[in-house]
Structure formats: structure tokens, C-alpha cells
Structure 1
Amino acid sequence: MLQSLIFDMDGTLFQTDKILELSLEDTFNHLRRLNKWDAVTPIDKYREIMGVPLPKVWETLLPDHSIEVREQIDTYFLERLIENISNGKGALYPNVKEVFNYLKENNYSIYIASNGLTEYLKAIVNYYDLDYWVTEFFSIQQITTLDKGDLVKDIIKKYNIEKAAVVGDRLSDINAAKDNGLISIGCNFDFAQEDELAQADWVIDDLIELTTILPKL
């Protein structure tokens, strides 16, 4: 029987799409004011790579900019994201709290492993009171490799987890499960890609489906 579930945050628990375009547009307007950008905001490109750590985001979106500029933009973007979360412009996916209640009632431990930065995750957890259910959230910032498999490994080691599933929408989540001998549950949500989900052990279209899948595991 499974003991624990390790959830991704963006595109799995939190509807990042609701604040992504707004925050990215703010950020590239900032670049334009600095005369460091003169094209359209690359929202579609960001959607393609959604789920990778932010340093890799800026390598992709700003390949011709210096590391210093990328770091400045990273900070600015994070500020915009947190402000939009705090202003209630984001949202959890349907049934997050219902599923978390089910898990808590059935003695599952809940963890979050995200490629998001610590302050960003903290803003979401605090705004939606997720710490009522979640034992601990982990950010990719906490490890040097920027590999979600290593992040999940740290969770397993810290909490002596033997049987668990990783729930997420991208290949990094599926691989993190495989790398650690865990079950992978792919979420067919906003940023998911069919070829990536094909590699998961299970695929769901709504988090509420976990309540029927988990007893089978």
C-alpha cells in the first residue's frame, strides 16, 4: 500500500496559466523599458518549456542576454508572480482540497516537489493554506543539480518513504518517479504533452480520479 504522494505544483495543483501570461507580459514590458527587448512576449515558447527550472527558462527565452540580465529578470518575474498570487489572481485546480482531505483521512502523507523557487511556492502554500494538509514542500532551489529526481530522492530519504507515487504533468515528474522506483501518475492538464504522459504508469484528467486509483495501488 502507498504511504505517500509527492505532487508537482505548477500545472498540477496550481493553475499557473492564470498568472503566467500576466506576469510574463509585465516582465517583458520591464525589459522593453530597459531597451533590452523589442519583440513580442514569447509566451508560446514558455508554454513549451513549462516545468523546467527558472534558470533554464531564461536561457531559452533570453539566449542572447547576459547572465546578469537573466538573473535580474528572474528576480523581477518572481516578484510579479508572488504579487499576482497574493492578489488572488491564481487558482488551484478543481478538487485539490477535496483530494487532500481524502488523503489525510486515509493516512497518506502529502509532499510537494517543485521546480518553482522557494518564495513562490511559499506564497501559494500560504495563500491557499495548503500546509494544513502538506507535510512539507520542497523547491528545486534546495539542490545543486536542478534535477527533480534528486529532489524526490531527498524527500524519500528525509521521511523514510518506501512506497509512494509522484503526481505531475510533465516528463520531469514522471522521470523523478522512475528514477526513485516510485509510481508515476501523469496529469493531463494545461501544460501536459501527450508523448510525455504516455510514459506515466497512470494518467488522470482530474485530480478527483486519485480517490479511485489509489485503492487499486
Structure 2
Amino acid sequence: MEQTESRLTKPEAMIFDMDGTLFMTETLLLPAYHRMFDQLREEKLYMGETPPEHVILGCLGMLLDDIWKKVIPDASEAARQRANELLLELQLEDLQKHHSKLYPGVLETLTELNKRDVKLFVASNGLEHYVKGVARAHQIFPLFEGLYSAGEYETASKVDLVKLLLDTHHIHNAWMVGDRSSDVEAGKKNGQTVIGCAYAGFGNGQELEGSDRLIADFTELLKLYDHATAD
């Protein structure tokens, strides 16, 4: 996988994807995913077997409409809409039970970056209540200046979502930190540095091609920042 080895400069802000970057999505998603399909069958909206877990995990980072087209391509629009509602409802319920997890070192690293006066944001293709619910449940919500989600702002792509964030906060130099090709695209098309997170493993081998740096552990981000040069 190719990385461009341009010299890193200290950013005024860092923009994080949520699933597969800050949050171990599978710890919340998979139990809710199986219960969701049980409920869809009970409501007679979907009568097939539950698609394999790797199918939904491989879709993480996509917009919800695109996810259901891949997971249940032959389902009705009513079934897909109900899947959206149920999955959010079940995940928000499970968040309160404290069974889900952040990646190791996320809270500590974000706290240290905050102490260094780096402005922290989230840009996610997920739903607003999900993104904010995860951040609140894991005590990282107060560390962010803004949590931007496609669900709240109705953006067509993460490129658009990140542009909106940058424009709103007048940010010129940011690091986009994420684990999917949509994060790389969002950073690069907005002229920003991209730090690819290679630890989640939800995508394929080409997923992070074009990143300026790859990290195998979230805590490496602080070292990258500390060793970056002042602009």
C-alpha cells in the first residue's frame, strides 16, 4: 500500500471518523444486527436468513441507504426503512448497558490532544443520535468542538460533510483521521492531510491507499502530532 511521505505539519484541528477509528463498532453493532433481523422476520418485513456478519462489517463507512442495498438488496423499501429505525433503536438501548468499547487509548489520546489545543471534530456517515450517543456513552463528547454526521446534515458524501465542517469553523489545516477510503477521499478532496487507521480491518487492502501516514494503534497519533513541524 502506497503512502505519500510528505512532511507532516501540526494541524489546527483533527477530524475523526467514528466507526472503526474511535469506536469498536462490532461490540455494539453485531448483537443489535442479529436482533434487528429477528424483529424484521417477526414483523414479516424480511423472511430470509440473517446475512453473514462480514457483509455488514464490510459496509461500515458507507451511507445507510448504500449499506442496506448491499446487505439486503432484494428487500422492500419499507424493510430497509424499518431496518434503519430498528438498528438505531437497538444500538442506543445497548449503549446504556455499557457493553461496547472504544479502541485502546482513544480517551487518553483525545484528552492529550485537547490539552495541546488541537480542535477535535467527528465526521461520520452515521445517524446523528448514534454518533452523539456513542460519544456521550464513552465520555468523549465534551472533548469535541463539533460532531458532524450525514444523518444530521443530510450530506451526499463525506467529502461534502468535511467541507461543511471546515467552512463552518474556518479551518485551513486539519488532519482527517479514518479507516475507510471515504475518509481518504474526504481529506484529500478538501486539501487536508490524511492519517489512515489500519487497525480495524473492516475494509480491503487498498482501503487506505493515498493516506499520508498509516497508524497501527490509535495512540501513535499523539507521537505523529508531537513530531510534526510547526507550520
TM range (shorter): over 0.9
Report % sequence identity. Answer: 31
Preserved CA contact (<8 Å) 1:7 1:166: yes
Aligned match of 1:28: 37
Q: More deviation in 207-216 or 188-197?
A: 188-197
Q: Answer yes or no: is 1:195 the counterpart of 2:219.
A: no
Preserved CA contact (<8 Å) 1:165 1:182: yes
Aligned match of 2:228: 216
- Residue 110 of structure 2 aligns to a residue whose secondary structure is helix
Preserved CA contact (<8 Å) 2:198 2:216: yes
Aligned match of 1:167: 177
Offset from partner CA, 1:30-63 (integer Å, 9 cap, x none): 1222342232433221122211111211111122
Q: How many residues align?
A: 217
Structure whose residues are more often helix by fraction:
1
Q: Which letter maps to 2:34? A: E
- TM-score, normalising length from structure 1? 0.95
Aligned match of 1:119: 129
Equivalent-residue separation in structure 1 for 2:156 and 2:35 (angstroms): 26
Equivalent-residue separation in structure 1 for 2:17 and 2:195 (angstroms): 11
Query: Structure 1: where are the runs of 5+ without partners?
Result: none
Preserved CA contact (<8 Å) 2:51 2:71: no
Preserved CA contact (<8 Å) 1:170 1:193: no
How do 1:84-123 residues align onto structure 2 when only pairs under 5 Å count?
Answer: 84-123=94-133
Query: Structure 2: where are the runs of 5+ without partners?
Result: 1-9
How do 1:29-68 residues align onto structure 2 when only pairs under 5 Å count?
Answer: 29-35=38-44, 36-68=46-78
Q: Which letter maps to 2:183? A: D
Q: Which letter maps to 2:228? A: K
Shift of 1:125: 1.6
Shift of 1:121: 1.1
Query: Quick one: higher RCO (CA 8 Å, sep 6+), 1 or 2?
Result: 2
Preserved CA contact (<8 Å) 2:193 2:212: yes
Preserved CA contact (<8 Å) 1:2 1:164: yes
Equivalent-residue separation in structure 1 for 2:131 and 2:50 (angstroms): 28
Q: More deviation in 102-111 or 144-153?
A: 144-153
- Residue 75 of structure 1 aligns to a residue whose secondary structure is helix
Equivalent-residue separation in structure 2 for 1:206 and 1:192 (angstroms): 16
Equivalent-residue separation in structure 2 for 1:192 and 1:55 (angstroms): 18
Q: More deviation in 117-126 or 142-151?
A: 142-151
Shift of 1:19: 1.6
- Residue 22 of structure 1 aligns to a residue whose secondary structure is helix
- Residue 219 of structure 2 aligns to a residue whose secondary structure is helix
- Residue 207 of structure 2 aligns to a residue whose secondary structure is helix
Shift of 1:100: 0.9
Offset from partner CA, 1:71-123 (integer Å, 9 cap, x none): 11110111111111111111111111111121111110000000110011121
Aligned match of 1:177: 187
- TM-score, normalising length from structure 2? 0.89
Q: Which letter maps to 1:55? A: D
Aligned match of 1:139: 149
Aligned match of 1:4: 13
